[in-house]
Amino acid sequence: MKLASRLDHIAPFQVMAILAKARALEAAGRDIIHLEVGEPDFATPAPIVAAGQRALAEGHTFYTAAEGLIELRMALAQWYRQRYDVAVSPERIIVTTGASSALQLALGLLVEPGSEVLLADPTYPCNRHFVSLFGGTPVALPVGPDTRYQPSAAQVATAWCERTVALMLASPGNPTGTLLPSDTLAELVTLCREKGGALIVDEIYHGLTYGVDAETALRQADDAFVINSFSKYFQMTGWRLGWLVVPEGWQEPAIRLAQNLFLCPPAPAQQAALAAFEPATLAILEERRAEFARRRDFLLSALPALGWKLPLVPEGAFYLYADVSAVTDDSFAYCQRALDEVGVAITPGVDFGEYGAKRHVRVAYTTGVARLAEAVERLATLRG
């Protein structure tokens, strides 16, 4: 028996190896500060948990429609009206098993063997793997702080070829936390339409922006594929629940593909998520958002003392993407040393692409300020 060759192109997340090593060190008695994993440190808000428990008591343990509960799709449509003042029909919203399934669904609808999909480098590593899964080729667009780590219209226009079927964006991005500027989005929307390609926008960190609210791409592009999730802002990571907004006319094939790939998203999670938009839940989430903002601001002020360069203030997510070239020429080895020598777990740039990867690390501020301060103190002892 022979392993399929697609596995040659799917690298393991280094962050998972670091997490495993961190846990092994902890099991051996070491105190490790976790700044590596892309998951809020807050458990799911109590009103959502209570709704999940109630739904279980009421016997909501059966399959749902492949596209999700109509009540939840209507609640999401209402959320777009209320939060973004944008009209999205519930029929265009497909509830999925986390953003992972939403991403697979969008690319399964668009990518042919031989297709090319343009995406930023650095970016979330699974994006390029999902493109490869369907026989497509991910084409990396190197991005830096000059464009807030987002592709420019000129860059996309140059990279676009006859095999290109889609451009993928993320706002806020992972690992950089930056928003796509509104005027850049406008240019990219126009460009995708002119080229006859699809625009896919990952908005899973919406809600987790500081001092500014993110706009959905749907405001400018009703024909975009928008991926979102209950994982990050709503802090429902383990429940596995997300959604995909498809352009008008794409519902039928999207639901047909979802039916075959997933049957349906988890029913208890869907029932629980109905409580996600209640005022009591949103009050909790907004408090936590303020806490993330405090953490970001603390790190932005503290990390430069380590010699780390943070060329801009990222508006969102819970990541800082730091240039550590002043302290190392190999960020992967540096991350290993940080874990081994001072018990601080951070993620090397190599998890997110190739461009500048050895010069960068990602810090996830998914622990409180006191621990962040201790992490900075410990990392200071690594210098030189």
Map the footprint of a second copy across residues 113-132, applying CB under 8 A.
113, 115, 125-126, 129-130
Q: Taking the complex as a whole, how short is the minimal distance between the CB of residue 352 and a second copy, in angstroms?
A: 14
Q: Taking the complex as a whole, how short is the minimal distance between the CB of residue 341 and a second copy, in angstroms?
A: 26
Number of other residues whose CB lies within 10 A of the CB of residue 157: 13
Q: Which is nearer to a second copy, 59 or 384 (CB)?
A: 59
| Binding status of residue 236 toward a second copy by CB under 8 A | yes
CA distances, 75 to each of 72, 95, 210 (Å)? 5, 11, 25
Q: Which of 24, 78, 85, 135 binds a second copy (CB under 8 A)?
A: 135
Taking residues 22 to 41 in sequence order and writing x for each that binds a second copy by CB under 8 A, - otherwise, the string is: ---------------x-x--
Q: Which is nearer to a second copy, 110 or 320 (CB)?
A: 110
| Binding status of residue 137 toward a second copy by CB under 8 A | no
* Binding residues among 160-189 for a second copy as defined by CB under 8 A: 165
Q: Which of 256, 311, 340, 354 binds a second copy (CB under 8 A)?
A: 256
Q: Which of 196, 212, 279, 370 binds a second copy (CB under 8 A)?
A: 196
| Binding status of residue 13 toward a second copy by CB under 8 A | yes
**Distance separating alpha carbons of residues 37 and 319, to the nearest angstrom:** 10
| Binding status of residue 70 toward a second copy by CB under 8 A | no
Q: Which of 25, 261, 312, 380 binds a second copy (CB under 8 A)?
A: 261
Q: In this chain, which stretch among 71-79, 201-209, 235-243, 289-297 interacts with a second copy, using CB under 8 A?
A: 235-243
Cis status, amide bond into 122, omega within 30 of 0: yes
| Binding status of residue 138 toward a second copy by CB under 8 A | no
**HSE-CB for 73 with a 13 A CA cutoff:** 21
**Distance separating alpha carbons of residues 95 and 76, to the nearest angstrom:** 9
| Binding status of residue 262 toward a second copy by CB under 8 A | yes
**Distance separating alpha carbons of residues 153 and 155, to the nearest angstrom:** 5
Buried b (16+ CB within 10 A) or exposed e, 60-75: beeebbbbbbeebbeb
Q: Which of 111, 170, 188, 285 binds a second copy (CB under 8 A)?
A: 111
Q: Which of 182, 259, 280, 283 binds a second copy (CB under 8 A)?
A: 259
Q: Which is nearer to a second copy, 166 or 322 (CB)?
A: 166
| Binding status of residue 237 toward a second copy by CB under 8 A | yes
**Distance separating alpha carbons of residues 237 and 231, to the nearest angstrom:** 4
Are 40 and 204 in contact by the 8 Å Cβ rule? The answer is: no
Q: Which of 26, 223, 278, 297 binds a second copy (CB under 8 A)?
A: 223
Are 376 and 302 in contact by the 8 Å Cβ rule? The answer is: yes
| Binding status of residue 191 toward a second copy by CB under 8 A | no
Locate 2 and state its tokens.
């022979």
Residues whose CB falls within 8 Å of the CB of residue 14, separated by 6 or more in sequence, listed in order: 332, 335, 347, 348, 350, 351
| Binding status of residue 253 toward a second copy by CB under 8 A | yes
Output Rg (C-alpha) for the chain, integer angstroms: 21
* Binding residues among 275-314 for a second copy as defined by CB under 8 A: none
**Distance separating alpha carbons of residues 232 and 318, to the nearest angstrom:** 9
**Distance separating alpha carbons of residues 331 and 349, to the nearest angstrom:** 7
| Binding status of residue 72 toward a second copy by CB under 8 A | no
